Structure 1
Amino acid sequence: MARKKRIKIYSSNGKKALLLSPEEITIVKNDPSYEKNYEIEFNKGKQAFEVRNYYAIGFWKDLLFVLIGAFLSTIAIDYFISITGNAGLFPGGLGAIARFLSIIGANNITISASTLYFIVYFIMNIPLVIFGFIKIGWKFSTLTLIYSIISIFFDLILQNIPYINPNEFSLLIDYNLISSLPGAWGAIIWIFAFAIFGGMINGFSYSITYKGNASTGGSDWVTYYYSKKLNKDIGSLNIKINIFILFIVICLNTIILKTQHIDQTIKLSAIYNEYNSWNELINSDLGKALDPILSAEDKVSIDLFNSWKNLKSGNWNNEDWFNISKYISSSSEYDSYYTSTLVWKMKFKWIIGPSLFASLTLIITQGLTVNRLYPKNKILNLFISTNKINEVQQYLFSVGYTNNIFIWRTVASKKNAWNDQEQDLIMISMPLLYFNKIEDYLIKIDEDMIINIIGSKAVKGKNFSYTFDNELREKALTEEFMNNGKLMKKIESNTIIKTHKKMKKNGVSIQNEV
């Protein structure tokens, strides 16, 4: 009797093998569990294939963008935002909440407010990271998670470098020093300067991070998800939400703000308008605290002494009272003598004062910088002259392009050419950002290709897609994966081994392992 031909089946790691005849392999494949096992192995293999392709082609470039973006964002937070103190600048959205909580926490634990900001921001992003992995995708979510973690490490490094850490080294000017000096407008002018430069650096950071197929976290998770799902830009809604959160946070921060952190000009305005007569002033706790000091010629300047003397004599005038108000507002010595009504007036003025408008300046500058460097809504019309029309179409569909492709059969005529040549002309429309990603691959299809690029002022109509279709990319990836005979053979072998093991466990013996 002739011996049956047997086939040795290896697992993907090459360690486990079965020796089965073709008939036995057929029995295994007909088992009810085979189809389910095959689906599991197929999905596992396809995901590994996608990961390998991504890490081989784009991951390191994206990671470099994310690292640069995280470093610049850390510079913006440490040297331009957190340095402005408890009553200073706030970023928009979730960052504003993180900054507020870091201010509260820094008062109770020995850690810098900027370091605590990055830690709190990371913790607040954890639920959104989970949402991202489920709803958006592993590449975007992984890189965004890396951004958040790396930002913490960059901050810890900067905080511990001698001489150039934010506490010892100042960019532009020492804001803590300038804000503590008596002066009407010094700190206010500089907080707007910090807002502009901080916004520009943050905008540059965000743009680079976006180009790395990641985000900075926070509301970007939800914005990215819904812009993909609804196929439209909801950036304007995101800006409104960020500004609303900013306003609420500044209100909450103002409630807990100590009067010593309120700017001198705000104090001056509130104090100057609070009292209108000598009797009203001298009967208050503030007036009683001032009188022994300002009545002694040897304790204050001659101008202050004379101004107080004039007010005390019943000659109430705005000039003398303004001099006294400036003296009071320039020192925190009298903060405890303010009435609660006066304190709330100061805080109300502060809510609609420098902190809010400087923070809005920060957000606007940041947004303008992002729009300039990362023009996600700029549309290009591409006229492509090529002899490989089918390959171009196939590539466009494989990367998820879903808009119309217009094709003309043309004749190309060139000077000094022997014959006119037939050539295809394709017109497509897509966002600039997507073209930047596919340009190099597109040109490689046809070395003689000519691409004429024309900017589009606007696109009207609901059927135009501003994004590439993930399903089409997934389909193209699946086709490429299935055309790889070696990988498909591994999946089949793994499935046979897995099914055979289960059959053996259930008492169905096919063949012993070798």
Structure 2
Amino acid sequence: MEKRKMVNDEENRLKQERNSNNSGISPDNIKSKKAENYSKEKINERKTRSRERISRTEFNLRFKAYFKSRLFRDYGYIIFAAFLGMASYDYFIASTTSNGITPSGIGAIARGIAIGIWPEKNELQIQTSMYWVFYFVFNVPLFIFGVIKVGIRFSFRTIVYIALQNGFHFTFAYIPVINPQELFFIVNYSSLNFFTNYGGMYQIWLFVFAAVAGILNGIAYGLVYKGGASTAGTDFVFAYYSAKKKISIANYNRIVNYIIIVAMLAIHTTLLSRSEITSIYFGKDWAAHIDQIKELGFKIDEGGLIGGDIATHKIKYFFGPALFASYLFVVVQTIAIDIIFPKFKYRSLMVITSKGDAIVSGLQYVHYPNDIVRIPARDHYEGNDINNEVIIVSTSVLEYKKIKAAIVVSDPDAKILSYKLDKIIANYKVDKY
């Protein structure tokens, strides 16, 4: 009898442990778990879901502290990006002279105007300097748009980026030996002048310069986005509508850049004088080879090409290396940006938390625009089953830092799993559900 009683007691004890949880540990054992594994506060925090919401005042204080702790890193990105952007234009784009590479966006317009006023090779330094001045001035209305529509912090950092680019240019432009007029990383492009090679400007060097400039500019753009700023220009508009419409507009961004390049190149081609179009194809000393050019079958006098040869060579110029090298610059730049910071791509965040209500409040405070999926879950953590929630949200990379900050500030102990998304297929409206 005594032996049977002991067996029954053991069976009842095991049955009780199995019913308590899957780990074989009774609730009493969980409560009495030693301090070296969990602090009392940690057990209570992770043990069950909390319905506490974070106040707006507390959230704002934590939010500012979060970004303040990353301030030096962000501005480090912006400073280095400004230097790379300056080097890309001064040493590789501007150095291809007035008939070389056309950058994208507002930069194409600024370069076009600078070239129109100072087209000669001996004016390259002032042409480059005035490009940066025009680029800053043309962005002033867009700075105002950014402050109103996008946000003061984003806009201020962008202004800092553009100002630093101007500062780097005017610093390096007048330093002996390392200024763009004396230091050539690949080749002195402006010195290329081969009369025997018909179409002297049409060298492989133009495409090499475009590729290198695209890589440097792409890295600069990626870093400036990581620093919580933009490259100004049309970026302000695209950033605003990407967030407002909740769609990726990378394709529209590229199309607009291509259209601007074509328009500026068309204007530049139209304004080319007889002498300029002749020097593009027959070298800057073409006047010394007029008889040889005539023997090749071209109509020319002391002022340059004449008659139909002017129109023919302008068409060749427009559809020539200057156009395709500019497109190569944009393509390489886009690839480099997408590797470092694919700003128009989307990410899905799966958050494991015990403070779901607090996170939802934080997302609402930063005006998170999409739906928030909340799934009750049991988190098995070091032998314990803990009541948690899984929250799923989606955001563009452009807004990723803000959304991530809102989650971390609302629950510093939350686990965030980030996934890349190809696209979001949805037309979400509350009234449909």
TM-score, L = length of structure 2? 0.72
Aligned residues: percent identity?
Answer: 28
- Decide which of 138, 156, 169 is 2:170's aligned counterpart: 156
Q: In the alignment, which residue of structure 2 is the partner of 1:325?
A: 296
- Decide which of 157, 161, 167 is 2:181's aligned counterpart: 167
Q: In the alignment, which residue of structure 1 is the partner of 2:311?
A: 344
Closer/same/farther in 2, CA of residues 354 and 262 from structure 1, 3 Å limit: farther
Instruction: Work out whether residues 242 and 344 of structure 2, in 8 Å CA contact, stay in contact via their aligned partners in 1.
Output: no
- In structure 2, give the amino acid aligned to 1:65: Y
Q: In the alignment, which residue of structure 2 is the partner of 1:422?
A: 387
Q: In the alignment, which residue of structure 2 is the partner of 1:23?
A: none
- In structure 1, give the amino acid aligned to 2:271: I
Deviations along 1:32-88, whole A, 9 cap, x unmatched?
A: xxxxxxxxxxxxxxxx99998698455544433322222111101001100001110
Separation of aligned partners in 1, 2:350 and 2:266: 53
Q: In the alignment, which residue of structure 2 is the partner of 1:83?
A: 95
Q: In the alignment, which residue of structure 1 is the partner of 2:234?
A: 219
- Decide which of 196, 199, 205 is 1:190's aligned counterpart: 205
TM-score, L = length of structure 1? 0.62
Write out aligned runs for 1:27-46 (5 A): none
- Decide which of 423, 427, 432 is 1:462's aligned counterpart: 427
- In structure 1, give the amino acid aligned to 2:255: K
Deviations along 1:207-256, whole A, 9 cap, x unmatched?
A: 22222232222222322233333333333223222222211211221223
- Decide which of 316, 338, 358 is 1:371's aligned counterpart: 338
- In structure 1, give the amino acid aligned to 2:424: V
Name the SS for the 1:420 alignment partner. Answer: strand
Residue 89 (structure 1) shift = 0.5
Residue 169 (structure 1) shift = 0.9
Instruction: Work out whether residues 104 and 260 of structure 2, in 8 Å CA contact, stay in contact via their aligned partners in 1.
Output: yes
- Decide which of 131, 149, 153 is 2:145's aligned counterpart: 131
Separation of aligned partners in 1, 2:186 and 2:103: 19
Name the SS for the 2:303 alignment partner. Answer: helix
- In structure 2, give the amino acid aligned to 1:117: Y
Q: In the alignment, which residue of structure 2 is the partner of 1:63?
A: 75
Residues 1:209 and 2:180 are matched in the alignment: no
Closer/same/farther in 2, CA of residues 78 and 397 from structure 1, 3 Å limit: same
Separation of aligned partners in 2, 1:230 and 1:221: 14
Closer/same/farther in 2, CA of residues 49 and 179 from structure 1, 3 Å limit: farther
* 5+ residue gaps, structure 2: 1-59
Name the SS for the 1:140 alignment partner. Answer: helix
Separation of aligned partners in 1, 2:386 and 2:66: 39
Closer/same/farther in 2, CA of residues 123 and 440 from structure 1, 3 Å limit: closer
Instruction: Work out whether residues 179 and 187 of structure 1, in 8 Å CA contact, stay in contact via their aligned partners in 2.
Output: no
Q: In the alignment, which residue of structure 1 is the partner of 2:373?
A: 406
Instruction: Work out whether residues 140 and 213 of structure 1, in 8 Å CA contact, stay in contact via their aligned partners in 2.
Output: yes
Q: How many residues align?
A: 365
Separation of aligned partners in 1, 2:265 and 2:412: 57
Instruction: Work out whether residues 66 and 409 of structure 2, in 8 Å CA contact, stay in contact via their aligned partners in 1.
Output: no
Name the SS for the 1:458 alignment partner. Answer: coil
Residues 1:395 and 2:362 are matched in the alignment: yes
Deviations along 1:245-286, whole A, 9 cap, x unmatched?
A: 211211221223245554889569xx9xxxxxxxxxxxxxx9
- In structure 1, give the amino acid aligned to 2:75: L
- Decide which of 319, 324, 328 is 1:361's aligned counterpart: 328
Separation of aligned partners in 2, 1:380 and 1:51: 21
Residues 1:119 and 2:141 are matched in the alignment: no
* 5+ residue gaps, structure 1: 1-47, 272-285, 295-320, 465-514
Write out aligned runs for 1:216-295 (5 A): 216-258=231-273, 261-262=276-277, 266=281, 290=291
